[in-house]
């Protein structure tokens, strides 16, 4: 989960104070917390990001990629005109830093008024020398680290303390609130008919699969077990699925519509235990394809989780029918974790009182400060 510092950096970026982030970590927490990709240089790569070597499209995953060293992965580019094998983005020890990440990092350091070095020993070259580039343009270096670093003598300010405590104090001084982090994951439900029954058949065989949007072998990291029950069908017994991939096979009358009720039991993360998903089934009617904007769905889920102060909210992203053989596909988004870093502002209890951004608390600082963004990335999040 992102730390206080991760979320605080996002709010500083929204306020126009933070211009660019340079990371040596591969944990994807900056992207997950909300730092725009074009304002982030991940010098050593990202364990959760794949890239297409042919067309350059990046894929941000909710699971850790199987390989390191920019090797090929089992997946392919989703672009129908491409289809190339994807590669991981994590560097091995002998690999040079990629110019597409290093060049904007150097340029932003040259133009920075202040470079904050947070929680780094500043010992790994060439990344440790990046802050020094700000000095030639009259910039300053601030280092926050528990131990001494080789660059302490070059810094205008050195603070030996935990980074989260220092940043929390900075946010209080700026009158900026650190909002909670709500994690939202995608999942997919497939209802497969083994064979399309003739009109004379009374029964239909089907299989239910609940898994990741990345494919049948990809795990659901947030689900421990699933309880499956059937509304309006007392003849169908409740089933408990404890092993991934989650699968269930049944044979039912095709003339009787029903609803599959799923209870997704979470891994013990934030204290919220489960989420409920209803999946209506009617083998005699053709369902309409439905598609919603994923970013809008995620934003509403996060808002709802903050409002209720718990996770477990579910929303439909896409529903489609695939024929021969028929498969009903339901793609949903679910709030799977919520982390609170501080209480609501005094006197505030409802989300409408919570600042959606901090523009009204700190004036924008982008009038006289220029910065260089990374080239626009084609980033797909799944």
Active site amino acids = 44
Would you give the DSSP letter of residue 251? E
C-alpha closest to that of 181 among 35, 2, 30, 53: 2
- Helices 163-173 and 4-14: angle between axes, nearest 10 degrees: 30
- Say how many CA atoms lie within 13 Å of 284 toward its Cβ: 12
Q: Angle at the Cα of 71 (from 68 to 73), degrees rounded to 5?
A: 95
C-alpha closest to that of 192 among 247, 261, 264, 259: 247
Cα 52 from Cα 177, distance rounded (Å): 38
Non-local (6+) Cβ contacts of 236 within 8 A are 230, 250, 252, 258
Non-local (6+) Cβ contacts of 320 within 8 A are 289, 290, 291, 329
Cα 16 from Cα 19, distance rounded (Å): 7
Q: What is the dihedral of CA 292, 297, 298, 299, to 10 degrees?
A: 130
Cα 128 from Cα 105, distance rounded (Å): 12
C-alpha closest to that of 208 among 185, 224, 227: 227
- Element (DSSP H or E) covering residue 333: strand 327-339
């Amino acid at each position: 989960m992102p730390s206080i510092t991760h979320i605080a950096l996002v709010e500083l970026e929204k306020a126009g104070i933070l211009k660019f982030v340079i990371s040596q970590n591969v944990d994807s927490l900056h992207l997950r917390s909300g730092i725009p990709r074009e304002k982030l240089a991940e010098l050593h790569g990202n364990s959760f990001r794949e890239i297409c070597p042919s067309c350059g499209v990046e894929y941000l995953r909710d699971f850790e990629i199987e390989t390191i060293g920019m090797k090929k992965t089992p997946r392919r580019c989703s672009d129908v005109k491409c289809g190339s094998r994807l590669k991981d983005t994590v560097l091995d020890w002998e690999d040079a830093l990629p110019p597409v990440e290093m060049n904007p990092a150097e340029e932003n350091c040259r133009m920075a008024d202040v470079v904050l070095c947070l929680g780094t020993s500043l010992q790994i070259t060439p990344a440790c020398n990046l802050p020094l580039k700000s000095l030639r343009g009259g910039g300053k270096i601030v280092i926050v680290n528990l131990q001494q670093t080789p660059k302490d003598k070059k810094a205008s300010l050195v603070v030996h303390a935990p980074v989260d405590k220092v940043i929390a104090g900075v946010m209080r001084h700026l009158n900026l609130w650190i909002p909670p982090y709500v994690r939202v994951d995608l999942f997919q439900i497939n209802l497969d008919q083994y064979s399309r029954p003739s009109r004379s058949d009374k029964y239909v065989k089907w299989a239910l699969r609940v898994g990741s949007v990345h494919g049948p072998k990809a795990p659901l990291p947030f689900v421990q077990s699933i309880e499956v029950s059937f509304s309006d069908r007392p003849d169908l017994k409740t089933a408990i699925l404890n092993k991934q991939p989650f699968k269930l096979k049944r044979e039912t009358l095709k003339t009787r519509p029903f609803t599959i009720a799923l209870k997704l039991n979470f891994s013990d993360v934030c204290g919220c235990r489960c989420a409920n998903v209803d999946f209506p089934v009617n083998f005699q009617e053709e369902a309409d394809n439905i598609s919603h904007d994923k970013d809008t769905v995620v934003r509403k889920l996060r808002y709802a989780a903050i409002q209720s102060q718990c996770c477990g909210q579910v929303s439909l992203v896409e529903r489609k029918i695939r024929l021969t053989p028929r498969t009903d596909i339901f793609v949903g988004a679910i709030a799977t974790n919520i982390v609170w870093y501080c209480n609501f502002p005094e006197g505030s209890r409802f989300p409408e009182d919570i600042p959606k951004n901090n523009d009204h608390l700190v004036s924008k600082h982008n009038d006289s400060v220029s910065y260089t963004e990374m080239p626009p990335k084609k980033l797909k999040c799944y």
